[in-house]
């Protein structure tokens, strides 16, 4: 942690985790590292705590939150877990997969968490700091990405402090996020089909290999309301698939195409995902009024990277 960071940023050691558990149990907000991006956490069963998340982010109230759980048992208490959910949880939890499932009517949650939908988005994260918080707090935690609504997602404690400022009283610094893009979101439907709502570190092919090709092509009624066209935006025009940057453009390179910074000089997609938001934050902070970004292959985690880049450019 550099001495330039504000006082609310604390290294995520045992003492800070204990303070965070106290804040969370009391209904407060804490920004926490996960393996994907930093989340803005609050207890999901507390109406005021959930309202504080929406207020701090400036998030529209029709956009529901992901609820994070300590284990599969906690997930089963909140949602109707069918065989497909069990199978996916067994393969990918803890990890970067969010399941959208039918909400149990008796689940004790703040109604705003699901924005009034009959479904709930659930994820069991892998990051040791987030897992410690979930286990010690003993309640499910709602946690959207810890940025102002529509802005670039945070993959470091400094990104959180820069985006949310004093709106969040405590930020646990766990270093940079290893994955760098948000979890894959999959909706499991009552009719046996499934749908990818947001591409992420777990690929559609991996889901398909387990569930089979059961997704019906029509009846697309479940959507991720938060997947707005413009999102992850650095606040200036963004040009995609650029071969080189113009003098007034902050150029983000990839592979052989260089720039003011690079997603991955060796053309590695895993590294590119981990560095994506840091590069966009750098572009946002630069004096140059425009951003240009080299092409990224649409394979593996590249699908999620390109999804975020298209929304950053929209």
CB of 99 to ligand TXA, least distance (A): 10
* Residues in region 272-291 near Mg ion by CB under 5 A: none
* φ, ψ dihedrals at 3, nearest 5°: -75, -5
**Is residue 119 a contact residue for ligand TXA (CB under 6 A)?**
yes
Measured CA to CA, the distance from residue 158 to residue 278 in angstroms comes to: 10
CA 191 to chain centre: 28
How many chain residues bind ligand TXA (CB under 6 A)?
Answer: 29
Task: Considering only residues 268 through 287, tell me which ones interact with ligand TXA, judged by CB under 6 A.
Answer: none
- Within 47-86, the residues that bind ligand TXA by CB under 6 A are 63-66
| Least distance between ligand TXA and beta carbon 247 (Å) | 35
304 lies in the site for ligand TXA, by CB under 6 A: no
Residue 238, strand partner residues: 291
Distance CA 247, CA 252 (A): 13
**Do 36 and 177 meet the contact criterion of CB atoms below 8 Å apart?**
yes
Question: Alpha-carbon distance 299 to 119, whole Å?
Answer: 30
| Alpha carbon distance 84, 66 (integer Å) | 19
Distance CA 110, CA 132 (A): 22
Which two structure tokens, joined as six digits, stand for 14? 């045992």
**What string marks each residue from 164 to 183 as x (binds ligand TXA by CB under 6 A) or -?**
------------------xx
| Cβ 38 to Mg ion shortest distance, Å | 10
Stretch that binds ligand TXA, among 34-42, 156-164, 272-280, 285-293 (CB under 6 A): 34-42
Residue numbers 182-221 binding ligand TXA by CB under 6 A: 182-183, 185, 197
Stretch binding ligand TXA (CB under 6 A), from 16-24, 93-101, 211-219, 288-296: 93-101
DSSP state of 226: T
Q: Does 39 bind ligand TXA (CB under 6 A)?
A: yes
Minimum distance from residue 29 beta carbon to ligand TXA (Å): 13
CB nearer to ligand TXA: pick between 180 and 259: 180
Quote the strand ranges of the chain, DSSP E.
9-11, 30-32, 39-43, 66-68, 97-102, 119-123, 141-142, 171-173, 184-188, 194-198, 238-239, 249-253, 261-262, 290-293
CB of 36 to Mg ion, least distance (A): 10
DSSP 279: H
Among 114, 145, 155, 183, binds Mg ion (CB under 5 A): 145
Cα-to-chain-centroid distance, residue 234: 17
Binding site for ligand TXA (CB under 6 A): 34, 36-37, 39, 63-66, 96, 98, 100, 114, 117, 119-121, 123, 125, 143-145, 182-183, 185, 197, 224-227
Binding site for Mg ion (CB under 5 A): 145
């Amino acid at each position: 942690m550099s001495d330039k960071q504000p006082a609310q940023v604390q290294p995520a050691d045992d003492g800070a985790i204990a303070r965070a558990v106290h804040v969370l149990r009391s209904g407060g907000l804490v920004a926490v590292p996960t393996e994907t991006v930093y989340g803005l956490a609050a207890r999901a069963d507390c109406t005021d705590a959930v309202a504080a998340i929406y207020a701090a982010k400036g998030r529209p109230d029709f956009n529901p939150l992901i609820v994070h759980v300590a284990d599969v048992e906690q997930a089963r208490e909140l949602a109707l877990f069918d065989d497909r959910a069990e199978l996916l949880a067994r393969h990918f939890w803890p990890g970067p997969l969010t399941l959208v499932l039918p909400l149990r009517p008796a689940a004790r949650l703040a109604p705003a968490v699901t924005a009034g939908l009959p479904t709930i988005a659930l994820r069991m994260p892998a990051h040791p700091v987030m897992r410690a918080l979930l286990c010690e707090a003993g309640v499910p935690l709602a946690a959207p990405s810890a940025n102002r609504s529509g802005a670039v997602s945070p993959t470091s404690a400094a990104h959180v402090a820069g985006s949310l400022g004093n709106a969040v009283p405590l930020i646990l610094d766990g270093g940079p996020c290893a994955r760098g893009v948000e979890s894959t979101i999959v909706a499991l439907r009552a009719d046996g089909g499934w749908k990818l709502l947001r591409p992420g570190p777990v690929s559609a092919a991996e889901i398909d290999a387990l569930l089979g090709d059961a997704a019906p092509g029509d009846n697309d009624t479940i959507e991720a309301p938060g997947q707005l066209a413009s999102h992850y935006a650095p606040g200036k025009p963004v040009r995609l698939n650029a071969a080189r940057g113009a003098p007034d453009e902050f150029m983000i390179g990839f592979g052989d195409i260089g720039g003011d910074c690079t997603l991955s000089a060796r053309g590695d997609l895993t590294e590119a995902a981990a560095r994506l938001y840091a590069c966009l934050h750098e572009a946002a902070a630069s004096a140059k009024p425009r951003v240009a970004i080299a092409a990224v292959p649409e394979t593996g985690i590249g699908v999620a990277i390109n999804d975020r880049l298209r929304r950053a450019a929209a």
